[in-house]
Amino acid sequence: MDNSSFLFFFWQACVVMTAGFIFIQFFARSLEVLIVGQLLGGLVLGTYTVIAPTYASEVCPVALRGILTSYVNLCFVIGQFLANGISAGTHNLDSHWAYSLPFALQWVWPAVILCTVPFAPESPWWLVRKERMEDAEESLRRLASSKVDVRPDLTMIVETDRLEQHMEAGTTLMDCFKSVNARRTEIAVGVYAIQVLSGIYLVGYSNYFFTLAGLSTDDAFNMGLGFLGVGFLGTVLSWFELAYFGRRTIYRNGLAMLAVLQFVIGILDCVPNYEKRPNVIWAQASMMVVWNFAYSLSVGPVCFVILCECSATKVRSKTIALATAVQAMLGIVMTVAIPYMINPDAANWRGKLGFFFGGLATICFIWTFFRVPETKGRTYEELDIMFERGVSTRKFKGYKFD
């Protein structure tokens, strides 16, 4: 990505890969072909996951950086909501269209991206790194109103790039672990991994608990749509939080709430004659809805803000790619382990998994308290200097430059 523009990658991922791999999924008539199509499609999703927050963080002003980077989380929620809604409308079909039609509707998004990408400006940070100063200035002019003088912004970008060169910040994957970048990579990987470690995969089984409470499969599915609606609301409300509170404050306090709710879910599962008490099961499922709201208000969207702000500009795409890979590996582990742990015919832990994830969330809270700094309102140049000077986590918020 360092040798090709962000926009080139969007075109390539959209035209060559996305549309092509959807073609495989659409015409799959065997499980093997469908799995191949899904795996290849997952590679494309990983590309988008890396490029989207990186691009958003480099084209928006400091005041909007939190909203635009956290918007990535809202896109995930919208995608899940649309997928579940479309599946609800096709699941009664008796032919292959029950699954082929939802896949076919994915072709809408490559068309939308193809129509809009030509109007998107290139990242001025990428252009400066390629020493294309005139193009970088033109890109900044497209991103600002005609009355704004963009030359100070261009100067800041150039100085930040020179500062990172002076700090010997390279652009390879290994440079993510060298010198001061090691601390920044740890923070980026950690805040992204916490999305999984705090229990999002357990809460994804909310439909299972709705069914235990006596709902029919269809009604439980509809409740799942409402579950996603709560996630949408939480993410939108997080934008107002970001305007008034710091990233560290929102993330840390939200994580504490997630830990408490997980323990409540576990405690409810210990009630005697649990299976014969639908009210208790309803309370458990309700706690999962509240958990999802708290997650979407804090850890879910704010993770992407911290991820972009704590990584150095020269290796931001590499850092986000590394964090995405670690999160994906943890996701694979949870996808395999949780069905075994929750299944009545296996470990039969049910909601007692809340104790497990509550414990993990508590450990993550302690790590967050000591390692995740406050980055609200800081330019990338200021963040580079503060990390280079080794400013302690708890002094980031009030740090003043000489």
| % of residues, the chain, pLDDT over 90 | 23
Task: Give the integer Cα–Cα distance in Å for 240 and 234.
Answer: 10
Sequence spans of domains, the chain:
6-120+167-395, 124-165
Give the model's confidence band at 48: pLDDT under 50 very low, under 70 low, under 90 confident, else very high.
Answer: confident
Q: Is the model's pLDDT at 3 over the cut of 60?
A: no
Distance of CA 75 to the CA centre of its chain: 9
- What's the whole-number average pLDDT of the chain? 85
Residue 340 banded pLDDT, cuts 50, 70, 90? confident
Check residue 167 and give its pLDDT.
64
Q: How confident is the model at residue 138 (pLDDT cuts 50, 70, 90)?
A: confident
pLDDT in tens, 263-273: 999 998 888 88
The more confident residue out of 183 and 28 is 183
State both tokens at 262.
């997980």
Res. 204: pLDDT tops 70: yes
pLDDT at 297: 94
Least confident piece of the model among 219-228, 369-378, 392-401: 219-228
CATH superfamily of 6-120+167-395: MFS general substrate transporter like domains (1.20.1250.20)
Q: Is the pLDDT of residue 213 over 70?
A: no
pLDDT score of 156 more than 90: no
* Structure confidence at residue 304 (pLDDT): 93
Of 89-98, 107-116, 211-220, minimum mean pLDDT range: 211-220
Rounded CA gap, 381 and 153, in Å?
Answer: 11
Q: Which residue has the higher pLDDT, 275 or 25?
A: 25
Give residue 168's pLDDT band: very low, low, confident or very high (50, 70, 90).
Answer: low
pLDDT band at 46; cut points 50, 70, 90: confident
Q: In sequence order, which residues have a C-beta less than 8 Å from that of residue 80 and are 6 or more positions away?
A: 228, 231
pLDDT of residue 401: 81
Lowest mean pLDDT among 133-142, 159-168, 210-219: 210-219
Q: Determine the pLDDT at residue 4.
A: 57
pLDDT in tens, 351-373: 888 899 999 999 999 999 999 99
- Interval 281-297: pLDDT, tens: 888 888 888 999 999 99
Residue 214: predicted pLDDT: 66
CA distance 28 to 35: 9
Instruction: Give the pLDDT confidence score for residue 197 in this predicted structure.
Output: 94
